[in-house]
């Protein structure tokens, strides 16, 4: 570890990563990726309780627009792979298998012969009942294109495989919404996994997105506490925000949720106080 920069040494020591693992991550798992991006992947896998050497996530370059400044620049983003979604689903102990992908008729889209659509059905045990969750993905809507408008190399080489993984990811999110949330996989973005360092290459896919700051753990905890106190279902809060999990609520939407819950709490306390006063007035006063 003596040849490593001081900041990388410190970062690896804090994460309990030895030289052998770091070398494997640099040269085999994420070849060509920036050191700081690999560290992000390590932290991501630690938070998700995943083995990073099994590569449950990808480092994907994205052209991100900052919502505050309006400026755009390339940024490496950690995104889950289909393997992480499968692992997460199986860890629940409720994953009850899935059907083979069903493909539509072959079409030609931008010079690539591919199935028009793919449907995948996964099963989850809910109260002992095996329930089916299906998702259909269309090639024309899912395939990723390069800057010149042509379909990128990954989707050109294996259109059936890519389409099947996208359909499977959608089905898994439907079956396990709380566990998987609304985060799409790197396979759905369509980036070649080994192209993490090619952000300036003309064949790289440019994905316009906006940087969104999410609610902090403290804010999520406060929302959860107020929901329990007021007996407000989490589903109602998610419906209010239009999100699939509390972790997806943007920081800008936290105040709206907290205000709503506080109004409910104040109303319940007022009703409780009024009820106690009515009971007190109704009691007989001894002479």
**Statement to judge: residues 158 and 134 lie in one domain:** yes
Bin 233: left if φ > 0, else alpha if -120 < ψ < 50, else beta: beta
**Statement to judge: residues 79 and 157 lie in one domain:** yes
- Per-residue pLDDT tens digits for 46-98: 999 999 999 999 998 887 777 778 788 888 889 999 999 999 999 999 999 99
Query: Which of 211, 227, 249 is at the close of a domain?
Result: 211
Query: Which of 170, 193, 211 is at the close of a domain?
Result: 211
**Token pair belonging to 147:** 């800057």
**Statement to judge: residues 150 and 190 lie in one domain:** yes
User: What is the domain extent for residue 234?
Assistant: 217-270
pTM: 0.63
Q: Tell me, what DSSP letter sits at residue 26?
A: I
**Statement to judge: residues 141 and 75 lie in one domain:** yes
**Token pair belonging to 275:** 């009820």
**Token pair belonging to 27:** 């040269």
Query: Which of 211, 230, 252 is at the close of a domain?
Result: 211
CA distance 29 to 21: 10
**Statement to judge: residues 157 and 182 lie in one domain:** yes
What's the farthest any 2 CA atoms get from each other in the chain?
A: 96
**Statement to judge: residues 70 and 199 lie in one domain:** yes
State phi, psi for 140 to the nearest 5 degrees: -60, -25
Residue 52 lies in a domain: no
Question: Of 97, 99, 100, 52, whose CA–CA distance to 78 is shortest?
Answer: 52
> Mapping DSSP to helix (H, G, I), strand (E, B) and coil, where does residue 119 land?
strand
**Statement to judge: residues 75 and 205 lie in one domain:** yes
Query: In total, how many domains does the chain have?
Result: 2
- Per-residue pLDDT tens digits for 198-209: 444 434 444 444
């Amino acid at each position: 570890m003596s040849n490593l920069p001081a900041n990388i040494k410190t970062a690896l020591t804090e994460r309990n990563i030895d030289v052998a693992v770091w070398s494997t991550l640099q040269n085999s798992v994420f070849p060509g990726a920036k050191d700081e991006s690999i560290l992000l992947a390590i932290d991501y896998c630690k938070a998700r309780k995943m083995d990073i050497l099994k590569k449950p996530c990808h480092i994907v370059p994205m052209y991100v627009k900052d919502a505050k400044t309006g400026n755009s620049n390339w940024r490496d983003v950690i995104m889950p792979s289909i393997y992480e979604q499968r692992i997460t689903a199986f860890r629940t102990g409720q994953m009850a298998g899935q059907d083979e992908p069903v493909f539509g008729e072959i079409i030609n889209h931008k010079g690539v012969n591919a199935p028009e659509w793919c449907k995948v059905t996964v099963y989850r045990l809910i109260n002992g009942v095996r329930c089916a969750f299906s998702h259909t993905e269309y090639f024309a809507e899912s395939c990723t294109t390069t800057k010149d408008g042509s379909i990128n190399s990954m989707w050109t080489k294996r259109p059936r495989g890519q389409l099947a993984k996208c359909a499977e990811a959608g089905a898994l999110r439907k079956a396990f919404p709380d566990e998987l949330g609304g985060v799409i996989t790197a396979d759905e973005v369509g980036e070649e996994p080994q192209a993490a360092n090619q952000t300036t290459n003309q064949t790289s896919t440019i994905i316009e997105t906006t940087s969104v700051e999410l609610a902090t753990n403290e804010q999520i905890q406060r929302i959860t506490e107020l929901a329990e106190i007021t007996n407000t279902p989490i589903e109602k809060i998610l419906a209010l925000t239009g999100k699939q999990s509390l972790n997806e609520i943007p920081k800008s939407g936290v105040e709206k949720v907290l205000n709503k819950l506080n109004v409910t709490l104040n109303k319940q306390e007022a009703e409780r106080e009024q009820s106690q006063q009515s009971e007190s007035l109704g009691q007989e006063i001894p002479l």
